[in-house]
Amino acid sequence: MKKFIYLLTAAITLASCGDGNQSTVSDLITDADLETLRAKKTEVSALQRSVEKDLQLLDSVIAVRSGEERLPLVTTLTAKAEKFDHFLELQGDVKTKQNVLIYPEMAGTLQRVYVKEGERVRKGQLLASIDDGGMGSQVSQLKTQAALAKTTYERQKRLWEQKIGSEIQFLQAKSSYEATENAVKQAQSQLGKSTIRAPFSGIIDDVIKEQGTVVSPGPGAEVFRIVNLSDMYITVDVPENNLGAISKGKEAKVYFPVLGDSVISKVRQTGNFINPSNRAFSVEIPVPNSKGNIKPNLSARVSLNDYSSDNAILVPQGIISENAEGDQYVYVAVEPNEDKAVAKRRIIKTGKTQGSLVEALSGINDGDLLIKEGARTVKEGQNVQILNTESNE
């Protein structure tokens, strides 16, 4: 408080004595208007700052010459070039391309269901059968007719080759045989629709229709849901500004919060289309599922490697400051002498950020001593005392 009174008195004295034509502060307070008072205040404030600056300089010189200089205490961090991998954090859901509903191909009563929920099945395995309405008997009759037509055709063919009989008889027998064979094939194809088989190997996730239910083709008539958990993948939307950084084969870390587990994978496919609604392209990442605990639609956090550097210098974000021009800077301890050094300001350019660290693209060299603790209080060219030096590991 005494110092402030002294400074104010000195400033007022300077202001009063600087120009004999100017009015004193006391005179202004009595006679001047508001605008004049404000102008005088601005003038006195400027003089006060000038006096404070001169006093600080005098204090510093006196402390140095008297041997009583008290240096700011700082800690330093040794900048070290190291490998840096940056990851883009995204959110996605697990999917499988083999997750389908199975529908009947013909109408009828669901005569028998051969599988249960959770059962593993092979591709082509019989899952259920539908009452064929006597179609099986019709196929047997057609097969008998086809066998007779075949025998007649073969005999007529031998006679024709021996020049016995007419050509028209041979052609009629051949036509009858071929027509009967086609009828058998069509009937067998139709009969095959009375059975429901697994389209691929997987797990019966749901038995939707019970035995004895009348089913028919069409919406709402699904009988089973079958899922293959061995070919799981995640699709994430990547912002378009990462188009050049994300490509096939890039490393991907996948974390499942619900399971508390993570897997390492690689990008299998990148989309060739930018979605205009979110300005992003899709990326597909396969997910190994040897335990079978990863399910479709499970939420996952995906980290994609979008940038790597073998000689990156990483700086704690907490020691970076910014000046009025928007330039970022740090303080470096130079000319070290035992535990003493000089603080020098370095303008830097920063790159990717990972956690609490940011890559310094320029302004800092391998081996530089970065001022860590005390970085916010030191000034350019100020002598500092180093308490300890850390390694940036």
Rounded to whole angstroms, the Cα distance separating 204 from 119 reads 5
Residues 218, 329 within the same domain: no
> What CATH number does the domain containing 118 carry?
2.40.50.100
Residues 235, 209 within the same domain: no
Rounded to whole angstroms, the Cα distance separating 316 from 47 reads 39
Contact (CB, 8 A) for 128 and 196: yes
Residues 201, 259 within the same domain: no
Where does a domain end: 226, 253, 280?
A: 226
What's the Cα-to-Cα distance from 295 to each of 34, 97, 179, 232, rounded to whole Å?
76, 12, 51, 8
Q: 3-class DSSP state for residue 208?
A: coil
Task: Write out the residue range of the structural domain in which residue 22 sits.
Answer: 2-66
Residues 302, 314 within the same domain: no
Contact (CB, 8 A) for 174 and 161: no
Residue type at 285? I
> What CATH number does the domain containing 293 carry?
2.40.30.170
| pLDDT tens, per residue, the chain with 393 residues | 444 444 445 444 544 444 444 556 777 777 767 788 788 888 888 888 888 888 877 766 666 565 555 788 888 888 999 999 888 999 999 988 888 888 898 888 888 899 998 888 999 999 998 887 777 777 788 888 888 888 888 888 888 778 777 878 878 888 888 888 888 888 777 777 888 899 888 889 889 888 888 888 888 788 999 988 888 899 999 999 888 889 898 889 999 999 999 899 999 999 888 999 999 999 999 998 878 888 888 999 999 988 888 999 999 998 999 988 889 999 999 887 778 889 999 999 999 888 889 999 999 999 899 998 888 888 888 888 888 766 655
Residues 317, 372 within the same domain: yes
Residues 60, 122 within the same domain: no
Tokens of 12: 């007022």
Dihedral pair phi/psi, residue 239, rounded to 5°: -55, 145
Residues 200, 346 within the same domain: no
Closest CA to 44 of 2, 10, 76: 10
Where does a domain end: 285, 308, 331?
A: 308
Instruction: State residue 347's pLDDT score.
Output: 93
Contacts of 251 (CB under 8 A, 6+ apart): 264, 265, 266, 304, 305
Tokens of 310: 């073998």
Residues 210, 245 within the same domain: no
Instruction: State residue 96's pLDDT score.
Output: 86
Residues 200, 129 within the same domain: yes
Residues 218, 244 within the same domain: no
Contact (CB, 8 A) for 158 and 207: no
The secondary structure of 65-76 as a DSSP string is HHT---PPEEEE
Tokens of 30: 């009595």
Domain count, the chain: 4
Where does a domain end: 273, 308, 343?
A: 308
Rounded to whole angstroms, the Cα distance separating 390 from 370 reads 10
